[in-house]
Amino acid sequence: MEGRPVSRSATPTPADTSALAEHLIHRALLSGMTCGHCENAMRSAIALDDARMREAIDEAGYEPTGRL
């Protein structure tokens, strides 16, 4: 499987952030975590504000349910 290159700059690019968000969401859903846990994991791991976090979730193809 060929992956896309990830920037190693000090400040993550939008592509890096989206790729990380997608990875975190995918792992959270596979492990049985609910969307609420997923959102908290994303906030702490990549420190996104609410608007950017929702955008990353949407871009990854998921919809938060608000369940805890």
Model-level pTM? Answer: 0.33
Question: Is 3 among the domain residues?
Answer: no
Determine the angle formed by the axes of helices 35-46 and 50-60, rounding to 10 degrees: 120
* Domain assignment of residue 27, yes or no: yes
Structurally, the chain folds into a number of domains equal to 1
Both tokens assigned to 28: 């959270």
- C-alpha distances out from residue 29 to 13, 32, 61, Å: 24, 5, 12
Determine the structural domain holding residue 42 and report its residue range. 14-60
One-letter identity of residue 53? M
The predicted-structure confidence for 29-58, as pLDDT tens digits, reads as follows 666 665 666 667 666 666 656 677 677 777
Q: Please indicate, yes or no, if residue 25 is contained in any of the structural domains.
A: yes
Residue 35 lies in a domain: yes
Over residues 3-27, the mean pLDDT reads: 65
